[in-house]
Amino acid sequence: MSNEQILSSDGVPLEVSLKKAERRNKIRAVLLVAPLFLFVLIIYVFPIGDMLFRSVDDRMITKMLPKTFKAMEQWDGKELPEEPVYGALYEDLSYLKKTKTYGKIIARLNYEKSGFSSLIKKTVRKISKFEEGNYKEQFIKVHKRWGQLDYLIALKNTAPKWSYAKYLKGLDLKFDQDRNIIQVPEDRRIHKILWIRTLNVAFWVTVFCFCLAYPISHLLATLPMKYSNLLMICVLLPFWTSLLVRTSSWMVLLQQQGPINDLIVWIGFAADDNRPELMYNVIGTFVAMTQILLPFMVLPLYSVMKTISPSLMRAGKSLGGTPFTTFLKIYFPLTIPGIGAGCLLVFILSIGYYITPALVGGASGSLISNIIAYHMKSSLDWAFASALGTMLLVGVLTIYWIYNKLVGIDNIKLG
């Protein structure tokens, strides 16, 4: 048996030549994929990582008041701290005033307990007049809140560098002075209501979209091609119009003196002086979101229905089945992959919807996404907004996981 190696045309062993060619192909594939990978990394992975980091990062106060927290380590929080704590606070605030960086701690402490903003500002203005020693009395003289135990406890609660307090706040919970988890006062429990409202709106918008989209999709799939294409253009037309324009149109239609209310009065369903409120509430959110998200339900259903042969229905009828029985036992089960894709898509989009609830829903129709936007743009509590965003992301992933367990993600079809 010959042991001679097979050579390529250039005299290189064939095995070596094949390995070089394979290596070149791999490098070429990596170079082609690298721009997309970097794009996903920069646009998607890094922002989510930063969001997760911000939601638990609480090092800013600890870094800016190091001596104060060092002195507070021995304080049990049962009564006002002793002189060393106030002395350390004096040194830290004096340094922050000198470097003009005390403004950074005001907002963070005010999130912990309302009233810290005026407390810190007034103290910093007068701290240069403090005499050496007896700092506790001087702090309380400047502002009586330095003599209130709850403010000192709130300051101490910001000591941990990493905290999940923002996640508790998103569920209307908080830490007490002993670091036990308790509910916030009843008049401040708004976030659980928002979470329930968000899930409720997402669920019912999905149901409404399914009820409207199923017959539309069936009609599109069974009509002759020339009519089907025309109706499909009507379905896709909203995609060619700005979301803001469509939402603004609903504001015109749903207002009390708008066309829909005029029609209700003309038909006789309501008196002219008792027109129903269709905007700035949950009703307006339902109506506008259902119309806007309807195409996302129609397209998956249509793409699946188009692949179902009409002969299957005829075969079912020829075997003695009624139209309803044939539909229920033959046609409907075949459309389940499209139903799953449409419902999952619409539900996930509904959970994170922002513009439509903000404009049409008003205060009583706003969702959790509107609160996230508020804390990002108005209150500038980015840590809390990041925590709410992370909770929303985890909720969406949980829904996706449950769907995969119950139905199977492989059964989703988009066409």
38 and 64 in one domain?
A: no
Decide: 344 and 327 in contact? Cβ < 8 Å: no
CATH number at 406 reads: 1.10.3720.10
3-state secondary structure of 181: strand
Give the other-Cβ count within 10 Å of 84's Cβ. Answer: 17
76 and 5 in one domain?
A: no
3-state secondary structure of 183: strand
275 and 151 in one domain?
A: no
Name the pTM for this structure.
0.76
363 and 224 in one domain?
A: yes
For residue 12, tell me if it sits in a domain: yes
For residue 81, tell me if it sits in a domain: yes
What mean pLDDT is reported for the chain?
83
For residue 315, tell me if it sits in a domain: yes
381 and 266 in one domain?
A: yes
**From CA 303, how far away is CA 413, in angstroms rounded?**
8
What DSSP line would sit under 335-383, residue for residue? THHHHHHHHHHHHHHHHT--HHIIIIITTTT--HHHHHHHHHHTS--HH
258 and 114 in one domain?
A: no
pLDDT of residue 311 exceeding 80: no
For residue 175, tell me if it sits in a domain: no
Share of the chain above pLDDT 70, in %: 94
- Domain hosting residue 310, numbered range: 191-411
How far lies 392's CA from each of 40, 108, 367, 385, in Å?
20, 23, 11, 10
For residue 185, tell me if it sits in a domain: no
For residue 135, tell me if it sits in a domain: yes
Q: What angle (nearest 5°) sits at the alpha carbon of residue 280, between those of residues 278 and 282?
A: 75
36 and 85 in one domain?
A: no
392 and 248 in one domain?
A: yes
**From CA 409, how far away is CA 284, in angstroms rounded?**
33
**From CA 205, how far away is CA 346, in angstroms rounded?**
8
3-state secondary structure of 289: helix
Average pLDDT over residues 7-20: 70
Q: What's the pLDDT score for residue 204?
A: 93
200 and 100 in one domain?
A: no
Decide: 302 and 217 in contact? Cβ < 8 Å: yes
215 and 123 in one domain?
A: no
**From CA 390, how far away is CA 382, in angstroms rounded?**
12
Q: Which amino acid is at 412?
A: I
> Could you tell me the end-to-end alpha-carbon distance of the chain, in angstroms, rounded to an integer?
56
366 and 269 in one domain?
A: yes
113 and 69 in one domain?
A: yes
Structural domain count of the chain: 3
The DSSP code for 299 is H
More confident: 24 or 320: 24
For residue 178, tell me if it sits in a domain: no
Decide: 308 and 330 in contact? Cβ < 8 Å: no
Confidence of residue 188 (pLDDT cuts 50, 70, 90): confident
Choosing from 112, 138, 158, the residue where a domain stops is: 158
Q: What's the pLDDT score for residue 206?
A: 93
- pLDDT per residue over 192-213, tens digit each? 888 998 999 999 999 999 999 9
For residue 219, tell me if it sits in a domain: yes
- pLDDT per residue over 312-364, tens digit each? 777 777 777 777 788 788 888 888 888 888 888 899 889 888 888 888 877 77
Among the listed residues 253, 202, 161, the one whose alpha carbon sits nearest the alpha carbon of residue 395: 202
